[in-house]
Structure 1
């Protein structure tokens, strides 16, 4: 359970430093992972980015500070990391719905975003079928999207990405799958990054694992040799999402593995899917 303890230690560090500089590298170190993987893990477990979580917690505390009529707005803005009253006012109004001066009114309704904590929940002994496999390098060929995530919403939405690919192009991509396993259509997320504004970006490839040469009509992603945890899923997209969440909230904290630098992949064919997570043995 070291990962859960580490995640909660990281949240405690954040809570203790909401009114000062928060070093995300130090936050990640307390969770026993790199800054990149902490951001990704936090986002998957909580549904928001770590930057957005910090922003909401600071604006929650700022609203409480404003109840003190003797404290200047500029002092509260600086306390919570804003360089000007205007920047603070815009962020405050975006979260609470009113400007800071109106928040001093005792009858004004404001929002509160409580402190978060992570817990391991065992539910019903539902099996998870997986295998650990080391794969040689391979390439994914397909359609590439640059995706932005804000407040848990993707832009473009995943449904829009899929529907934008014509049936003929999807069939062509599936026919390019020429490995022994014949994975069909694969969905690969890679190059996850998070901005200070609380938004996350990543590249999404929808295509096939193939050894064929491709034209400029498609994008190519070269994936290096990696150790993968591969989970079997039967069912529709909702079941896939639920299984993906369980991997991070149940399997990963209790396993002897941790996230490694690498992409995440979903291979789907005939309502049978595999979720691929790049991992490494814990030190």
Structure 2
């Protein structure tokens, strides 16, 4: 199963490399990996740390810089070739990545950045099992504080901890726990797009709870793969997320369904070695 996954991801990378000079819908890339677009994008990001769009942009600007430094091609032609509508938009993106303008890149003494093609390698890990359970849960209501975060350049890894610190310090987390039907506080990834999503620190409220000050959303009915994290936050749960996408998905007949992800945090010392929480991933059988 893992070798099959590896081959499919390599096929998708081959397709991207062959078509750096034309628009390539993510649906077409995902098809090469025999995957849904949503699942492919989540897998790609969790394995590489970059979105598909971010990887394609960096690769195209790398190839554009090489072309400008090694040929007499016009800047406008190179810009159009690699998907930019105007020389101005191309120059802005080029300078942001390389630190110089496209015309300055013709100077052989000017250093340029290069983002090489990535590759996937199979890592066999048989020393540590991944226990999980499958749970069917009907739709339910959640309330909480939300923030829209970008995934490019890992921006969400800064914004989400900031939201947790704010909610922990101003009493929001404690209030959500008191409203919760089971005492748990939830971390929820909603409205997931290629380069952004909405993150909520929330709770599933009791029917009689007064949650008027919070945003309200409905989590749709889903089949969930549930994993337990043991250890101090955030390192322990981050390791669980890594293993889900790098080990569990490639080894099973499941893929991400595209519905919200949940992190379930019970009361306790989140910094202790024995703190237990859960990751709920919505899944479908391939």
User: Which residues of structure 2 form unaligned runs of 5+?
Assistant: 269-274
Q: Residue 109 of structure 2 aligns with which residue?
A: 107
Instruction: Return the alpha-carbon distance in structure 1 between the equivalents of residues 172 and 111 of structure 2.
Output: 52
| Residue 176, structure 1, aligned to residue 176, structure 2 | no
Instruction: Return the alpha-carbon distance in structure 2 between the equivalents of residues 174 and 4 of structure 1.
Output: 42
Instruction: Return the alpha-carbon distance in structure 1 between the equivalents of residues 150 and 139 of structure 2.
Output: 27
Instruction: Return the alpha-carbon distance in structure 2 between the equivalents of residues 51 and 156 of structure 1.
Output: 20
Instruction: Return the alpha-carbon distance in structure 2 between the equivalents of residues 262 and 164 of structure 1.
Output: 26
Which stretch shifts more, 119-128 or 258-267?
Answer: 119-128
| Residue 276, structure 1, aligned to residue 280, structure 2 | yes
In the TM superposition, residue 124 of structure 1 has moved relative to its aligned partner by 5.8
Instruction: Return the alpha-carbon distance in structure 2 between the equivalents of residues 109 and 121 of structure 1.
Output: 35
Give the secondary structure class of the aligned counterpart of 1:82: coil
Q: Residue 197 of structure 1 aligns with which residue?
A: none
Aligned residue pair count: 274
Give the secondary structure class of the aligned counterpart of 2:257: strand
Q: Residue 161 of structure 2 aligns with which residue?
A: 159
Instruction: Return the alpha-carbon distance in structure 2 between the equivalents of residues 258 and 103 of structure 1.
Output: 43
The answer to which structure has the higher strand fraction is 1
2:149 and 2:155 in contact (8 A); partners too: no
Which stretch shifts more, 207-216 or 27-36?
Answer: 207-216
TM-score (norm 1): 0.90
Give the secondary structure class of the aligned counterpart of 2:191: strand
In the TM superposition, residue 183 of structure 1 has moved relative to its aligned partner by 5.8
Structure 1's 131 and 183: CA in aligned 2 closer, same or farther, altered over 3 A?
farther
TM-score (norm 2): 0.89
Which stretch shifts more, 53-62 or 22-31?
Answer: 22-31
Which of 224, 227, 231 is matched with 1:228 structurally? 224
Which of 232, 245, 249 is matched with 1:248 structurally? 245
Moved over 6 A (4+): none
Which stretch shifts more, 32-41 or 234-243?
Answer: 32-41
In the TM superposition, residue 231 of structure 1 has moved relative to its aligned partner by 0.4
The answer to which structure has the higher helix fraction is 2
| Residue 121, structure 1, aligned to residue 116, structure 2 | no
